[in-house]
Amino acid sequence: MRIRRLGKADDRSGFHSGQPDLDRWFHRFAGQNQFRHYLGVTYVAESGGELVGFVTVTPSMIEIDALPPRLAKRLPRYPLPVLRIARLAVSARARGQGVGQRLLRFALGLARRTATDSGCVGVVVDAKADAQSFYGRFGFEPVETIEGILAERPEPRPMFLPLSAIPQAAADSYAETKAKS
Ligand SMILES: CC(C)(COP(=O)(O)OP(=O)(O)OC[C@H]1O[C@@H](n2cnc3c(N)ncnc32)[C@H](O)[C@@H]1OP(=O)(O)O)[C@@H](O)C(=O)NCCC(=O)NCCS
């Protein structure tokens, strides 16, 4: 399996994660968001010529008041640069084989790299209820909701992983993956 940037020629129509909203977004919008609007970049996991997963990342900001005081300590009181995992999905057929983990680690490596290149204090993800414990395994913790989430629709829940919790090894493996692609 290898992870590489989504290409214009990739056929995304055969990807099915079992989550219709995620699949529809991948089929219809991942390309234009990346190639026309530059809103984010999607990296795909490819195995045997098939796309078995994807992660979409975008630069974002987090308000310091959203962070637990322990993490906010020593940081300035203005919006902080983060990498947002906008979407992550693995095809139903490839679940439970470590693809999601590889894609997430790839994104963490990208955050480490971004920290060096242009600044990044951590990674944010709006985690669906089903996926919160998946992110929790990697050290993500829930943060305060600042805006955009209605009280009667508390999901998805924003979760944050500080850069200090991302090992340098993640950046090294990101660089290695990039070198192979
Ligand atoms: C969540 C998702 C990305 C996980 O992908 P995956 O390839 O099946 O996960 P992996 O095989 O890499 O699992 C890595 C580890 O996390 C665990 N894990 C997987 N899904 C989990 C979940 N939903 N909750 C808790 N733990 C989970 C696995 O058991 C595995 O543990 P191990 O290392 O001890 O064996 C995948 O189930 C998916 O695409 N779900 C639908 C879309 C979705 O919810 N995306 C997240 C949107 S915020």
Q: What mean pLDDT is predicted for residues 2-27?
A: 97
85 Cα to the center of ligand 1, angstroms: 15
- Considering the four listed CATH numbers 3.40.630.30, 3.50.90.10, 3.75.10.10, 3.40.1440.60, the one that applies to the domain covering 2-180 is 3.40.630.30
CA 18, distance to chain mean position in Å, is: 19
Write out the E strands in the chain: 2-5, 41-47, 50-62, 80-90, 122-127, 141-142, 157-162
3-state secondary structure string across 118-137? CCCCEEEEEECHHHHHHHHH
Report yes or no: 84 and 124 within 8 Å, Cβ to Cβ: yes
Picking from 152, 129, 112, the residue whose alpha carbon sits closest to that of residue 142 is 129
With H, G, I as helix, E, B as strand and everything else as coil, classify residue 73: coil
Pairing state of beta strands 122-127 and 80-90?
parallel
Cα torsion 42, 47, 51, 53: sign: negative
Two tokens, residue 157: 């829940």
Model confidence pLDDT, tens digit, residues 16-53: 999 999 999 999 999 999 999 999 999 999 999 999 99
Domain boundaries, the chain: 2-180
CA of 79 to the centre of ligand 1 (A): 30
Taking only the tens place, the pLDDT of each residue in 113-167 is 999 999 999 999 999 888 999 999 999 999 976 555 555 555 788 999 999 999 8
- Pocket of ligand 1, beta carbon within 6 A: 17, 19, 22, 88-90, 95-101, 125, 127-128, 130-131, 133-134, 137
